[in-house]
Amino acid sequence: MTFGFAPPATASLTTATGGASRHGRLLEPSEWTAAGVPLLRNPREVVSGLHSRHSPVPSTAVIAVLGPEERLVASASFVRRSASADGWEYRNALLSRLRRVIPHDLRRRTPVRTAVLMYCRDGDERWTEEDGAWMWGLRDACTLHGLRCGAYITLTRGGWQVLGEGRGGRHPSSESRPERLGSMTEVAPLPLSTAGGMVEPLRRAAAR
């Protein structure tokens, strides 16, 4: 299980105060591998299903929650706005979307649902510090929402790649047109409780 490393997109990723990365909170590839992230049984199906639902373009993050048998429970997508965001900001953005589309599982002793993140970006499939910041954000958001931290997937011009697993494919890519949805089926909507005790249907539309 190996990672490639992409060179910085700019001449310097350091700050003027001591050479710290512009992504203050990130996970190195070795840390991600050591975390024991569960393997996807059928990553191509997961990637194709999310691509069909959200039609991501570069800088789009797609967060999805999977239940048993990798059935899609909820998903949301959004475009990264900040050029200087780090893992903490990514965590907050992911947690905000999770709270909109699915109730937390913090009362469970063991997580039963898994969150995976697909990020569409420029460049190639090799690990970057931006990927490390998304990994940090995904892991922390899952902890705060009572979910199991699942795979981190990049979608680039060359195709898709599950970082840390060495699995990937050429289609779909960041330039692909969405196809018809396959067998990645959503379960019935779950109720989402509000502070006032009211219940509203679980929203599955992409959050943009």
pLDDT at 50: 97
Is the pLDDT assigned to residue 208 strictly greater than 80? no
CA-based end-to-end distance of the chain: 34
State the angle between helix axes of 87-101 and 129-145 in degrees (0 to 180), rounded to the nearest 10: 40
In this prediction, residues 81-91 reach a mean pLDDT of 84
Q: Residue 45: name the closest of 204, 186, 184, 185 by CA.
A: 184
Per residue in 22-54, pLDDT (tens digit) is 557 999 999 999 988 999 999 999 999 999 999
Report angle CA 116, 91, 10 to the nearest 5 degrees: 95
Per residue in 87-137, pLDDT (tens digit) is 999 999 999 999 999 999 999 989 999 999 999 999 998 999 999 999 999
Is the pLDDT assigned to residue 147 strictly greater than 90? yes
pLDDT at 164: 86
In this prediction, residues 42-70 reach a mean pLDDT of 95
pLDDT at 47: 97
CA distance 159 to 161: 7
In this prediction, residues 134-163 reach a mean pLDDT of 97
Q: List, in sequence order, the alpha helices (H) in the chain.
A: 29-34, 43-54, 87-101, 129-145
